[in-house]
């Protein structure tokens, strides 16, 4: 995917860029409203990642501009502002997701993947990896064409892992993805362990490889190497 | 004791003291004056007696004005020429009653004998007059004191009215909703001064308070970006291949701490925003929908803790609330009831028109339950929870006039929400 990252914090932008490039995306990074306006007007991107508070303007105006150009691109807002009005306004004018800083890169990546599916495979929304096939809209998972019966959280977990293949995902990152901001991580670590154990068990029973590796004390990794 | 009562009591004690002395002094002065007058009359009678003294025997028992001459008594001592006055009681032969008289005694001498002359003057009328006057004066003074007391009470009530209005306004002053105390104008300079000082003070407090809130919110928001950088860098670091396990552990610990800080910060921002009333939208909320959705979200956790869930919902219960805050309210309550539950414990949810009850099994609180809704209150020190969940619940309930109560009964922690009447 071709992504335009509009973020004025250089160090944060570089981390995001590295993560996304590693995922195989082409990522351009701009730090000002002015340059971003120019880029949006001249080029086409699959996805815009927009920080709302830019030194010389509001990211919301950039979203309006992109929408005016009738760009098909997905839009993810990243903002330090937690306020609901910002979130509502952002989603109202056509953003797909709103992430409040600090966020996990894995979470951002998962959102990018879902935008990618929406843009490029509209109609036949599927996630395929080797023997695994997922129909996200219908919440169905097949391994070797045999359907798995997964709980909601197990399903979400698998989609999250497939979006972040070969990446170490922290337990906190998983907890936040599954239960949102307000779940205290300490409580949820045991539950993550249980969910992952069950998911692995169900997948391997239907003949899938054992992809999910435990990184002791840190988190988990969907290992495809 | 009220100021008016206190000043009335002071007045009353002084007044009674003065009244007591005054009335005694009045009585004796009156008595003295009357005696003087009577003595005078007796003296006049004495003069009249001497004018007619050539025929002494015919004078016996006769009246000299209001005075009466008593029978003459011969005495031996001629030298006693002094005139004596005294009060005495004399039996009235007709009514057989002792009546008060003032009596004048003196001695006259003829050529060969001396007589003691007694002239008496009845005091019955004058005594009655004195008593009547005395009673009248007493009544008058008591009446005067009473009237003064009443006037004092009434006027101090009137005078202090402005003060009590101010007091009431100060009492109801709420920093979250008001920027200054609106005090009424008053004619009394002292109160006017007080009101001016209070107004200035309230303005200063309100502006300090709002500056502080603004600062808190800005600071919290500014913290978000560096936190995002730390998190992103740590996450990138974790992706490095061939990292020794020891370093993984270090990164993981740092990452966990920064996650915790991020959550804490987000929660504090939320609290500040609730306090700053930045959730103005109101909607009709159906708590049952929210509760069921959240229970579903925690379904697996409830199952794995083997918590026995029991719910009873009265259909179509609704409440006017901000939609975001209602989510957070029920989420925090449910999360709290799950987190502090014990394996095989109970989780009971009851919802009706009047309110909601959420109860969960668990050991009795070791610390004072009044602190339960305070910020950073934790039942156990080791708990990794932030200790802000119930503080948020409390803030939200305050905002929407929902009454919240806690009770530990039958091994259950019970939290009651009482919805405001519609």
Touching A: B residues 15-44, CB under 8 Å: none
Count of domains in chain B? 3
Supply the range of the domain harboring residue A143: 127-222
Both B259 and B304 in one domain: the answer is no
Both B141 and B216 in one domain: the answer is no
- The pLDDT assigned to B81 comes to 65
Interface membership of B367 toward A (CB under 8 Å): no
Exposed (0-12), middle (13-18) or buried (19+): which is A174, by Cβ within 10 Å? buried
At A186, is the pLDDT very low, low, confident or very high (cuts 50, 70, 90)?
low
Residues A155, A140: Cα–Cα separation, whole Å: 8
Residues B349, A95: Cα–Cα separation, whole Å: 37
Candidate from A80, A188, A219 with C-beta closest to B224: A80
- The pLDDT assigned to B380 comes to 59
At A48, is the pLDDT very low, low, confident or very high (cuts 50, 70, 90)?
very high
Interface membership of A29 toward B (CB under 8 Å): no
Both B123 and B210 in one domain: the answer is no
Both B125 and B75 in one domain: the answer is yes
A81-93 tens-digit pLDDT: 776 677 788 888 8
Least confident of A85-94, A175-184, A188-197, B386-395: A175-184
In B, minimum Cα distance to A164 occurs at: B239
Candidate from A102, A104, A187 with C-beta closest to B224: A102
Domain boundary among B83, B118, B146: B146
Both A76 and A11 in one domain: the answer is yes
Among B227, B239, B255, B323, the strongest candidate for a mutation testing the A interface, having the largest count of A CBs within 10 A, is B239
Both A110 and A11 in one domain: the answer is yes
Candidate from B228, B296, B298 with C-beta closest to A102: B228
Domain boundary among B146, B161, B180: B146
- The pLDDT assigned to B382 comes to 47
B227 to A102: CB separation less than 8 angstroms, yes or no: yes
Both A138 and A92 in one domain: the answer is no
- The pLDDT assigned to B308 comes to 92
Residues B247, A48: Cα–Cα separation, whole Å: 34
Both A67 and A167 in one domain: the answer is no
Exposed (0-12), middle (13-18) or buried (19+): which is B127, by Cβ within 10 Å? middle
At A171, is the pLDDT very low, low, confident or very high (cuts 50, 70, 90)?
confident
Considering the domain boundaries, does residue B156 fall inside one?
Answer: no
A102 to B230: CB separation less than 8 angstroms, yes or no: yes
pLDDT at A137 over 70: yes
Stated length of chain A: 225
- The pLDDT assigned to B89 comes to 85
Considering the domain boundaries, does residue B19 fall inside one?
Answer: yes
Which CATH number do you get for residue B394? 3.30.565.10
**Residues near A118 by Cβ (< 8 Å), separated by ≥ 6?**
A74, A96, A125
Supply the range of the domain harboring residue B101: 3-146
DSSP state letters, chain A: -EEEEE-S-HHHHHHHHHHHHHTT-EEEEE-SHHHHHHHHHH---SEEEEESEETTEEHHHHHHHHHHTT---EEEEEES---HHHHHHHHHTT-SEEEESS--HHHHHHHHHHHHHHHHSTTS--EEETTEEEETTTTEEEETTEEE---HHHHHHHHHHHHTBT-EEEHHHHHHHHH-TTS-HHHHHHHHHHHHHHHHHHHHHTT----EEEETTTEEEE---
Residue B167 has a CB neighbour count (10 Å cut-off) of 11
Domain boundary among A90, A120, A150: A120
A83 to B278: CB separation less than 8 angstroms, yes or no: yes
Chain B residues with CB-CB distance to A186 below 8 A: 383-385
Both A110 and A50 in one domain: the answer is yes
Task: Please state, rounded to an integer, the average pLDDT across all residues of chain B.
Answer: 84
Residues B275, B375: Cα–Cα separation, whole Å: 13
Considering the domain boundaries, does residue B163 fall inside one?
Answer: no
Minimal CA separation from B248 to chain A, in Å: 7
Average pLDDT, consecutive stretches of 10 residues, N- to C-terminus, chain B (422 residues): 83 89 90 88 83 69 74 69 80 81 81 78 86 89 90 86 86 78 83 88 88 82 88 88 83 86 84 80 90 86 87 91 89 87 91 92 78 71 66 89 89 90 80
Q: Are A98 and A60 in contact (CB under 8 A)?
A: no
Both B72 and B195 in one domain: the answer is no
Residues A21, A15: Cα–Cα separation, whole Å: 10
A11 to B233: CB separation less than 8 angstroms, yes or no: yes
Domain boundary among A77, A102, A120: A120
Both B46 and B140 in one domain: the answer is yes
Which CATH number do you get for residue A181? 1.10.10.10
User: What is the rounded average pLDDT of the residues A21-33?
Assistant: 90
Interface membership of A55 toward B (CB under 8 Å): no
Interface membership of B328 toward A (CB under 8 Å): yes
Both B308 and B397 in one domain: the answer is yes
């Amino acid at each position: 995917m071709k992504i335009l990252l509009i973020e004025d914090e250089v160090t944060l932008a570089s981390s995001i860029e590295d993560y996304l490039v590693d995922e195989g995306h082409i990522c351009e990074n701009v730090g000002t409203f002015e340059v971003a306006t120019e880029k949006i007007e001249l080029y086409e991107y699959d996805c815009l990642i927009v920080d709302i508070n830019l030194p010389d303007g509001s990211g919301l105006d950039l979203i309006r501009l992109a929408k005016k150009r009738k760009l098909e691109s997905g839009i993810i807002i990243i903002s330090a502002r937690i306020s609901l009005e910002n979130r509502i306004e952002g989603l109202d004018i056509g953003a797909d997701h709103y992430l409040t800083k600090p966020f996990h890169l894995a979470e951002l990546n998962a959102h990018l993947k879902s935008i990618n599916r929406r843009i490029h495979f509209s109609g036949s929304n599927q996630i395929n990896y080797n023997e695994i096939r997922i129909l996200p809209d219908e919440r169905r998972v097949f391994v070797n064409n045999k359907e798995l019966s997964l709980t909601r959280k197990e399903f979400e977990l698998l989609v999250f892992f497939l979006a972040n293949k070969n990446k170490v995902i922290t337990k906190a990152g998983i907890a936040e993805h599954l239960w949102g901001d307000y779940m205290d991580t300490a409580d949820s670590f045991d539950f993550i362990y249980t969910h992952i154990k069950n998911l692995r068990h169900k997948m391997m029973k239907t003949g899938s490889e054992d992809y999910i590796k435990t990184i002791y004390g840190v988190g988990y990794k969907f290992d495809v190497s | 004791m009220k100021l008016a009562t206190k000043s009335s009591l002071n007045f009353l004690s002084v007044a009674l003291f003065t009244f007591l002395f005054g009335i005694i002094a009045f009585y004796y002065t009156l008595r003295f004056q009357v005696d003087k007058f009577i003595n005078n009359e007796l003296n006049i009678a004495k003069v009249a007696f001497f004018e007619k003294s050539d025929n002494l025997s015919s004078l016996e028992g006769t009246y000299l004005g209001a005075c009466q001459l008593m029978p003459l008594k011969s005495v031996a001592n001629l030298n006693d020429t002094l005139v004596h006055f005294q009060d005495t009681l004399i039996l009235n032969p007709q009514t057989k009653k002792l009546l008060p008289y003032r009596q004048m005694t003196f001695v006259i001498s003829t050529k060969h004998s001396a007589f003691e002359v007694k002239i008496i003057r009845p005091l019955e009328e004058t005594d009655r007059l004195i008593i009547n006057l005395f009673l009248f004066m007493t009544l008058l003074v008591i009446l005067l004191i009473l009237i003064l007391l009443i006037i004092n009470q009434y006027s101090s009530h009137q005078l202090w009215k402005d003060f009590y209005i101010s007091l009431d306004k100060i009492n109801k002053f709420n920093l979250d909703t008001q920027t200054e105390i609106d005090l009424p104008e008053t004619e009394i300079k002292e109160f006017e001064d007080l009101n001016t000082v209070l107004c200035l003070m309230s303005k200063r407090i309100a502006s300090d308070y709002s500056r502080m809130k603004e600062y808190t919110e800005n600071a919290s928001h500014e913290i978000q970006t560096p936190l995002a950088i730390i998190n992103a860098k740590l996450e990138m670091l974790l992706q490095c291949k061939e990292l020794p396990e020891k370093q993984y552990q270090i990164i993981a610990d740092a990452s966990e701490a920064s996650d915790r800080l991020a959550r804490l910060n987000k929660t504090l921002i939320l609290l500040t925003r609730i306090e700053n009333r930045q959730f103005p939208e109101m909607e009709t909320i159906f708590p049952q929908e929210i509760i069921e959705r959240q229970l579903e979200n925690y379904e697996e956790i409830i199952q794995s803790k083997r918590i026995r869930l029991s719910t009873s919902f009265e259909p179509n219960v609704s409440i006017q609330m901000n939609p975001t805050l209602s989510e957070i309210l029920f989420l925090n309550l449910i999360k709290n009831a799950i987190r502090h539950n014990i394996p095989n414990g109970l989780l009971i949810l009851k919802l009706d028109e009047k309110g909601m009850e959420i109860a969960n099994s668990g050991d009795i609180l070791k610390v004072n339950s009044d602190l339960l809704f305070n910020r950073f209150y934790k039942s156990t020190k080791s708990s990794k929870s932030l200790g802000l969940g119930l503080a948020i619940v409390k803030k939200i309930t305050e905002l929407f006039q929902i009454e919240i109560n806690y009770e530990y009964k039958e091994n259950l922690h019970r939290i009651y929400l009482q919805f405001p009447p519609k």
